[in-house]
Chain A
Amino acid sequence: MTKIIVVEDEEKEKLKTQSIISPFLFKYEEPIKLLFFNKCDDGLLKEIEDLSERKIYILDICLKSKITGINIALKIRENDWDSEIIFLTNHTSYEQKVYNNVLKVFKFIEKFDDMEKRLSDCLNLILSKKVDNKVFKYRNNQINLRIYMKDILYICRDKDERKLIIKTTKNVFKINMTFSEVLKELDSRFKKTHRSCIVNTDRVSRYDWKNGKILLDNNEEISLLSKKYKEEVV
């Protein structure tokens, strides 16, 4: 079940949002439940703390109470980085860039700028499962690591140290794990292409079996392709 949780304190806006969301309740196979809150109360906190179900939060940034939409989003992101957050705002502000990045906001939608179309598009995108939030998790005494699987390009072995290197779109992480251990944590899109490489097949543009090279969608080329693994990959 997917829950769409709307936090809006203006009755007029609430009705407008409800009219936009209602068509989606029966559009998809997956059951969808719609919940409304006008402030951050115990009921909303209970929903935030429940991580068993997938959620889409639609939050009004400017709530009359002391706790704003941003505060609610921060509360959500304390433990939940999987749910999607859509902000409804009266106007754009410089803080949006910060929150887009630090809270992984799906979208900021201005209430007076084609809200119906923009919100509908967002919901279509999220509900049709075109949004992939699967994560790879790793932790040690110092740090918890969560990487979206869609961001992982490939995983290879560090030649100097006995570690695995996880290459993502923006970063490189070195972890103490074996290939078999890491494969257990990943889904079926990750395939072994070489004895020292696992690749995210969704991020591959082209396999050059002749030269043993893989061209990724970020134009990076890696020479870790072995014909031994062709059957598995293809």
Chain B
Amino acid sequence: MTIELILGYMSEIYSYIIHTLCFKKCTSSVSNNKKITNFLLILILSTISMFTNLYFNNFFRIFCTLSLIIIEFKIIYKKEISDTILITLMISVVSIFVEFVFAGLLSLISSNITIVNDNYWYKTIITIIFASVLYLLVLLLHNVIFKINNKIKDRLNIEMLFGIVIIIINLFTIVYGENYKDYKIFFVIIVSIISIMAMILIILNMFLKKQRISMENEVLLKNIKAYEQIAEDYSTLRHNLNNDLAAIKTYVDSDVRELIEEKLKKYNSEYNIVIKMTNIPKGLQGLIFYKMNTINNKNINFDIKSTVNFDTFNKINKKLYSKLCDIVGISLDNAIEATLKTKEKCLFINIVQNGKDIDIKIINTFNDTLDINKIGTKQYSTKKIKSGIGLDYINKISDNNIKTKKEIISNLFIVTIKLIISS
């Protein structure tokens, strides 16, 4: 019994040392503690681990072992707790994999597995070999573990994922005990581990991709905010400049007045419609920017006004907002197409709050032949390349939350899109 305890204790110590070296390799960390301190810590934790192995059931032992290892790494290497937990979990998964491969091979090659199970010398030697193999495998995989740890920002999901894997695998261990048994069981478990790990890698890949996009969006948003501030400052400057020049105009003779007028036109023609778009929420803003290319190229006289608070748009659910953008997009396309046929080429968008609801009005000049009773019906179109699905589609997707209204006032076509938020 004493020899068994000593052998068990020594294999625990060795196991802890190997795990410590694995952690060091995966994080390229250096311990600032004295070596004797670290060794004493390992001795204490090995003692606790031995105690739990002897007197507690399998399931509790698993959590105990993991917790002790995490505590050990935290004290020795003093890294962030989230880093420590994630790397510990990753090393544990590799360790479990090694254990089962090893156990399976052992069951395969051993003619009498009972001898191995009953002999503590054999078990100790196997444990030492297994730990050494673990270290060799971690040497191969340490770059992968290092990269995964550095790339993942949101740890919780991944840690939970690895945690679940370890729990599932250890449940197998509980069922089949510690002793080496029929090799087929171990190979089934190995296949399960590989499948689970493959799924984890796929999920991880998706997760990292999403994170990358999220980071890019964050940077983009920061840049947009900075740009909007610049645009606002420019707008104030321009406004003041216009007013000052207008005031100066009153004190000068007509020649100078003409010159000032020219300057005013010059500054105003270079006025960027983009500045007016700072109030428009991002989805609609992007849509309008996209149409700006056509608007500018075709010399359409365009203006936009919005007095709606940003926060109001943030309250709308994404599906509804997407539908709104669809309808605005189609209406804008129709408006651009129609106004191009006119001499005036005027297009105006007004976004205004109407109680809790939002009204988006698109007004354009038009010069065309219209069958009033066929507008909005399928396949009726005034376009050269007739499609006739635009207004019909709008009618179909309009519902209790989005209503559209069309009016013609003389040569103006007005589409009012009402977004009902109050319901």
Q: Using a CB–CB distance below 8 Å, which chain A residues touch chain B?
A: 62, 66-67, 70-71, 74, 81, 90-95, 97-99, 101-102, 104, 110-113, 138, 140, 142-148, 151, 163, 168-176
**B346 contacts A97, C-beta separation under 8 Å:** yes
Query: If A74-B352, A91-B242, A91-B245 touch, does A145 touch B408 (CB 8 Å cutoff)?
Result: yes
Distance A173 CA – B365 CA, assembled complex (angstroms): 15
**A173 contacts B249, C-beta separation under 8 Å:** no
Distance A94 CA – B346 CA, assembled complex (angstroms): 11
Q: Is B423 an interface residue (CB 8 A)?
A: no
**A148 contacts B368, C-beta separation under 8 Å:** no
- Name which residue of chain A comes closest to B242, CB basis: A91
Distance A144 CA – B247 CA, assembled complex (angstroms): 44
Query: If A143-B408, A147-B410 touch, does A92 touch B261 (CB 8 Å cutoff)?
Result: yes
**B369 contacts A174, C-beta separation under 8 Å:** yes
Determine the chain A residues whose CB is within 8 A of the CB of B374 once the complex forms: 174
> Which of B361, B371, B372, B409: most chain A Cβ within 10 A?
B372
Q: Is B121 an interface residue (CB 8 A)?
A: no
Determine the chain B residues whose CB is within 8 A of the CB of A168 once the complex forms: 410-411
Query: Which residues of B in the span 244-261 have a Cβ within 8 Å of any Cβ on A?
Result: 245-247, 249-250, 261
Chain A binder among B1-9, B265-273, B314-322: B265-273
Query: If A66-B307, A171-B366 touch, does A142 touch B342 (CB 8 Å cutoff)?
Result: no
**B264 contacts A172, C-beta separation under 8 Å:** no
Closest CB pairs A-B (n = 6):
A101-B346, A172-B369, A90-B246, A174-B371, A102-B348, A91-B246
Minimal beta-carbon separation of A201 from chain B (angstroms): 20
Chain A binder among B31-39, B104-112, B297-305: B297-305
Minimal beta-carbon separation of A157 from chain B (angstroms): 14
Minimal beta-carbon separation of A178 from chain B (angstroms): 14
18 pairs of residues in contact across A and B, judged by CB atoms under 8 Å:
A66-B307, A71-B305, A97-B344, A98-B301, A98-B303, A101-B412, A102-B348, A102-B364, A104-B412, A111-B246, A140-B373, A142-B372, A143-B375, A144-B406, A168-B411, A171-B370, A174-B371, A176-B373
Determine the chain A residues whose CB is within 8 A of the CB of B269 once the complex forms: 94
Distance A59 CA – B302 CA, assembled complex (angstroms): 21
**A170 contacts B411, C-beta separation under 8 Å:** yes
Query: If A70-B305, A91-B242, A95-B303 touch, does A171 touch B367 (CB 8 Å cutoff)?
Result: yes
Distance A95 CA – B408 CA, assembled complex (angstroms): 22
Determine the chain B residues whose CB is within 8 A of the CB of A92 once the complex forms: 261, 264-265, 268
Minimal beta-carbon separation of A83 from chain B (angstroms): 13
